[in-house]
Structure 1
Amino acid sequence: ENLRKSTTRTIEELTTTISEMEVRFKSDISRLKKKYEATINELEIQLDVANKANANLNRENKNLAQRVQELTVSLEDERRSREAAESNLQVSERKRIALTSELEEIRSQLELSDRARKNAESELNDATTRISELTMTVNTLTNDKRRLEGDISVMQGDLDEAVNARKAAEDRADRLNAEVLRLADELRQEQENYKRAETLRKQLEIEIREITVK
């Protein structure tokens, strides 16, 4: 009988202990469940924020990549424009040098023609003086007079040719001077275009570097 009662008490105590443990376990389970649910909700919110931020970053990266591509194309266009301007500048410079050389040659020819004209005029004056002197003795020097008149005619033709050549050279020099001025203006314009293209190229390079650093 005592053993039965002792066993019964032991069973009751164990039952009570088990019940208390179940209550504490359920309480701990409930508390942990709420805690984990709150943590999960917070993590889901953080994940949503991170996903949105990642989407924004992806869009921004795409925009930046597109901008870099556009700037790269613009830089390439400017590089080609600058190369074309440099090429045109070199061509204009070669033309200017060639025309300057030709102008110097024409000036030299003009000086030679002017000296020839002066020599012809001097010879004409000498011949005229000689004719005046020979006129006084025309009766005895008729043959010489005719010969000198022929020489004068030839000299006059040479003088006319020299005058015409000088006039043609002056006209050509005027035209070449006008062409040199025009090419100098074109050269100045090409230099300005080159400077503008170089400035824009440097600005684009700086902008690309800034975007790349970002």
Structure 2
Amino acid sequence: MGKVRVAGFGVSIDGFGAGPGQSLKDPLGKRGPELFQWYFPTRSFREMHGESGGETGPDNEFGRRAMEGFGAFILGRNMFGPAGDDWGGPNWKGWWGDNPPYHTPTFVLTHHAREPIVMEGGTTFHFVTDGIEAALAQAKAAAGDLDVKIGGGVSTVRQYLLAGAIDELHLAQSPVVLGQGESLFAGIDLPGLGFRVTENVPTEQATHIVLAR
């Protein structure tokens, strides 16, 4: 049985994992893309989008690790589409085009039922309406011996942390201060949940911190 991991999760110095005001125009919230300036120039990011070139080094290595070794993903509702009940319209199939970067079964937490969507490249979106435990059970069954990635957003990561379900977190702390947005750890006692820092790698664009139980 694999682990349950959070990986490549951008966070600001003041602890926000997304900016305020997520919308179709601002999928990561206002100023949210500032949390991923470490990732966008890397070779791993460019290859994921079918492009060549890109930077190598620690940021690239952590970016690569953040998408490898997973047999299933779990996403919150707003990670799949803009907030609201209409999923961005009747033909909405996610932010990523016809070939999303997951390439595995991907389970979307929602209160609004929807039939599974089969995409190119091996991604199938399954919509789970009966809670985080049900989604995790389905994801573990789909992943087999591989890991399950809790892909976000902030609310989803917090729910699985508080449920004691996450084994490892990789945070990429960017040198930006958002001031407002979605706070990742407010009210959460990470040492109390058994986490300790196992890696700490600074780069020009981020500090990569891995915590494990």
Q: How does the TM-score come out when normalised to structure 1? A: 0.17
> Which structure has the greater CA radius of gyration?
1
